């Protein structure tokens, strides 16, 4: 039997059209609201004024003492993320959740589903998820779920039927009588033997790739998306491994066929729920990832930008950020990208920064003051550490200093906590105004209070010091001048210059301390050698508001 790669006539016509063509209102949520938590119409989208929080449910909070985090545990801890009251300051203030896979799976991580429409029994039930949606929406929190569309578990009934030769499912996966000689994009094995044939699996033999050249497979995934949006009430999806959907021989990522499929899938999701958010994982350069927006996804994660922010915090100089931010703004106008520092597949920020809390604060300041939709990995806000293997990147949340359990469970944690859990935890940082947790809370409230930070234009401002990263954010009647001292030294010789375009009036200090001076603006709206404060403190964030 030859490799199965069947195309429908409609798909062929669509691909031909693609090859010959160029690339191409909702209420404010209140604590009592239970509808989809979208906000007032703006020049951008409802998600642009939100901060999302990535949660690994298994590691967040255990409600029943079995050592495994669950949906009821997450519900119990929602008030620590956002209590729905804008006047309180003890919650983190996030307004979006991204749940790593919660669907039935034989693995601890869930990226190999056996049933796309059933919640993993370790986490609870479908009704528990619906309760989570209700409780999250009451607090103004949107919830998106990880949708693993590229592959299934090798234990999925679809794959078992396909391997057995069931005519209905024979073409749902990619088979060949003889294994092709090529390997995967990272040099890995991608063809695996089974019952005298070979199947394709780009990540591992336990995760066989679905064959999306078969329209029945697309129809099945459409039904999955419909179920989570309509029956379960999800606000959207994080689309796992979006660039790997359809291979073209040895080209195994970002094929034209993949982009076409992503576009049609996105159109289907919009037809079901027009305000649903889709965030694509395209782990590639931002030149590649940005090409999926807006057709194939509303946002894609910008890995280049993430590396630049963490690297800048580590190095203490602005060179990388200046050039990278200019590129990002050109590729994804209006901040339509997902910004983050690290995620569940990467060493945690605090590990990358060798435990330097001040540098972690700088990284957070960079994330929360620039364009893009910020995503915070759970535990990042308290400085949790973690390095490979993957299980050690996803250890239980450190709630307090309790030995062994860290307040995560009353039982034995599914994975041992990090060694610093007794000193790095929510309880120990929550009332410390100088803690990393307090810094994140302040940043999220600052972003929420100033639309210029979440939706505004971005204009770089030159500094005489490469230790100062400075820029303007402008929206409506507000202009903000942001200065971040990337270094561990106070900086006084940082004179700011702008050629043109500044239209701000009298400035006032929103963040920072000292006696503020006003810029001398020329006829072109420019200034030169401007020193708002005599000195910028080490690792500090300064924000000046100008009324336009």
Angle of helix 215-226 relative to helix 256-272, nearest 10 degrees, comes to 40
Which tokens is 303 given?
């890995």
Handedness of CA 368, 374, 377, 378 (dihedral sign): positive
What gap in Å lies between CA 1 and CA 511, rounded to an integer? 67
Tell which residue, 258, 257, 229, has the closest CA to residue 241.
258
Tell which residue, 328, 345, 258, 332, has the closest CA to residue 298.
332
What gap in Å lies between CA 466 and CA 462, rounded to an integer? 9
173 contacts 195 by C-beta, under 8 angstroms: no
Catalytic residues: 240, 281
509 contacts 479 by C-beta, under 8 angstroms: no
3-state DSSP call for residue 461? strand
What gap in Å lies between CA 156 and CA 105, rounded to an integer? 9
3-state DSSP call for residue 210? strand
91 contacts 79 by C-beta, under 8 angstroms: yes
What gap in Å lies between CA 225 and CA 480, rounded to an integer? 40
Handedness of CA 63, 278, 271, 35 (dihedral sign): positive
Is it true that the peptide bond before 321 is cis, omega within 30 degrees of 0? no
């Amino acid at each position: 039997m030859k490799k199965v790669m069947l195309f429908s006539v409609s798909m062929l016509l669509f691909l031909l059209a693609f090859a010959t063509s160029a690339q191409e209102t909702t209420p404010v949520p209140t604590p009592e609201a239970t509808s989809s938590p979208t906000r007032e119409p703006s020049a951008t989208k409802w998600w642009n004024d939100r901060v999302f929080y990535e949660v690994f449910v298994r590691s967040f909070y255990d409600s029943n003492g079995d050592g495994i985090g669950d949906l009821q545990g997450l519900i119990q801890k929602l008030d620590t993320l956002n209590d729905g009251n804008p006047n309180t300051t003890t919650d983190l203030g996030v307004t979006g959740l991204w749940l790593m896979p919660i669907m039935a799976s034989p693995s601890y991580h869930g990226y190999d589903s056996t049933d796309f429409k059933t919640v993993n029994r370790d986490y609870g039930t479908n009704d528990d998820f619906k309760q989570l949606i209700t409780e999250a929406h009451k607090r103004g929190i949107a919830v998106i779920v990880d949708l693993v569309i590229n592959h299934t578990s090798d234990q999925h009934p679809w794959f078992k039927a396909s391997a057995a030769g069931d005519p209905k499912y024979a073409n749902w996966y990619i088979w060949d009588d003889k294994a092709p000689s090529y390997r995967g994009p990272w040099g890995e094995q991608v063809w695996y033997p089974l019952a005298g044939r070979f199947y394709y699996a780009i990540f591992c033999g336990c995760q066989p790739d679905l064959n999306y050249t078969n329209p029945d497979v697309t129809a099945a995934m459409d039904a999955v998306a419909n179920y989570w949006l309509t029956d379960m009430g999800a606000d959207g999806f994080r689309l796992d491994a979006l660039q790997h959907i359809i291979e073209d021989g040895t080209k195994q990522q970002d094929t034209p066929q993949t982009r076409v499929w992503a576009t049609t899938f996105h159109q289907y999701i919009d037809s079901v729920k027009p305000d649903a958010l889709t965030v694509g994982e395209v782990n590639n350069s931002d030149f590649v990832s940005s090409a999926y927006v807006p057709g194939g996804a509303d946002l894609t994660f910008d890995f280049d930008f993430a590396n630049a922010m963490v690297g800048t915090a580590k190095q203490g100089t602005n060179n990388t950020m200046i050039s990278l931010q200019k590129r990002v703004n050109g590729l994804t106008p209006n901040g339509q990208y997902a910004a983050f520092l690290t995620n569940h597949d990467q060493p945690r920020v605090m590990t990358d920064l060798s435990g330097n809390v001040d540098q972690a604060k700088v990284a957070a300041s960079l994330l929360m003051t620039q364009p893009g939709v910020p995503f915070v990995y759970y535990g990042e806000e308290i400085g949790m550490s973690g390095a490979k293997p993957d299980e050690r990147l996803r250890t239980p949340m450190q709630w307090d200093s309790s030995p062994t359990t860290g307040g995560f469970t009353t039982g034995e944690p599914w994975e041992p906590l990090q060694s610093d859990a007794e000193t790095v935890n929510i309880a120990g940082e929550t009332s410390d105004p100088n803690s990393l947790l307090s810094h994140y809370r302040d940043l999220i409230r600052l972003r929420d209070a100033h639309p210029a930070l979440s939706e505004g234009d971005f204009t770089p401002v030159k500094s005489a010091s490469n230790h100062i990263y400075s820029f303007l954010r402008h929206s409506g009647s507000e202009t903000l001048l942001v200065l971040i001292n990337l270094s561990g030294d106070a900086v006084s010789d940082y004179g700011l210059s702008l050629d043109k375009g500044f239209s701000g009036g009298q400035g006032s200090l929103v963040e920072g301390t000292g006696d503020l001076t006003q810029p001398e603006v020329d006829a072109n709206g420019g200034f030169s050698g401007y020193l708002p404060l005599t000195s910028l403190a080490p690792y500090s964030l300064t924000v000046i508001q100008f009324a336009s």
